[in-house]
Amino acid sequence: MSEYMIENVAELLREAREEKRALGAFNVFNLETAHAVLDAAKETDAPVVVQFTESTMDYIGGRAIFHSVKNLIGWYYPEVRAGIHLDHGKSIEIIERCVKMGVPSVMYDGSRQRLDDNIDATKRAAALCHEKGVSVQGELGSVPYIAERAAFPDEEWDKYMTDPDEAKRFVEETGIDTLAVAIGNAHGMAKERSEPDYARLEKIAEKVSVPIVMHGASDWDETRVREVVSRGVSCFNVDTDSRMAFVSSLAHSLQDSDGTSFNIRKILGNARHAMKESVKKKIVMFRGG
């Protein structure tokens, strides 16, 4: 199978930025969820990023998930423009592991470190990756997880959000290809800022030359999505929303079972369909209809 069947993620995002739209980058955990994302991309005729985390690599095997996705794209979805990406790599070791495996795009997440330490580590990751032709996403600012915080007033969000001047320095000194930012967004079910800091995002977009990625926005409505895309966001990472669609379908199938149905293909097929429909809605929203 030709390597050219896999799209360069950074190039996809640069293209989206130029066209003032956004891509979806969707986390997958197995064949069913990977099929769901690629089916959605095929049915909407849209480019897509298929991504996985270190936790998924530990669960299923790094080479297993990477080559499963790669083979799906190459053999079963050749018409889909799809990139493959590691989401939230937290160490240089996991970045090295992915580079050796052939993963063409990675995220090094040093966002919980002090600025200088984040710059130094991300710069190392970028140098390592670029030597092998791998694109790199960095993160500046802190997108909270539910375990990290309780609700607090909007004015206390400043310590979490990305500083525009620091973003300029971060991009220039690290050489990253794309930048994940924090403007009041939060992972999973963590409570977000009452309103994203749109003015902050505008300043960041003015100061950096790379595409901007938004994490923790699975539940955003069309209005918020449109607002940040118009201000420079080129990609949305999605996990919680599509995962909930998949799991909810599984729960429904098992709850409705009379105890005699053990057709795993049907149960997982229904979940795959539910996730596909969820992903399709996101893709259409991100590209603006």
**For residue range 66-89, what is the model confidence (pLDDT) as tens digits?**
999 999 999 999 999 999 999 999
With a cut of 80, say whether residue 8 has pLDDT above it: yes
Whether the pTM exceeds 0.85: the reply is yes
Tens-place pLDDT, residues 125-159: 999 999 999 999 999 987 776 555 555 566 677 88
Q: Is 87 a catalytic residue?
A: yes
Task: Kindly state the average pLDDT of the residues 208-229.
Answer: 93
Of residues 87, 109, 197, 239, which has the active-site annotation? 87
Packed helices 222-230 and 198-207: angle between N→C axes, nearest 10 degrees: 30
Quote the percentage of the chain above a pLDDT of 70. 91
With a cut of 90, say whether residue 185 has pLDDT above it: no
Burial (Cβ within 10 Å: 0-12, 13-18, ≥19) of residue 277: middle
Kindly list the structural domains of the chain, giving each domain's residue range(s) and its CATH number in brackets, ordered by start. 3-287 (3.20.20.70)
Name residue 84's beta-bridge partners. Answer: 50
Question: Shortest CA distance to 236 belongs to which of 176, 269, 191, 196?
Answer: 196
Question: For position 172, what pLDDT does the model report?
Answer: 98
Q: How confident is the model at residue 2 (pLDDT cuts 50, 70, 90)?
A: very low
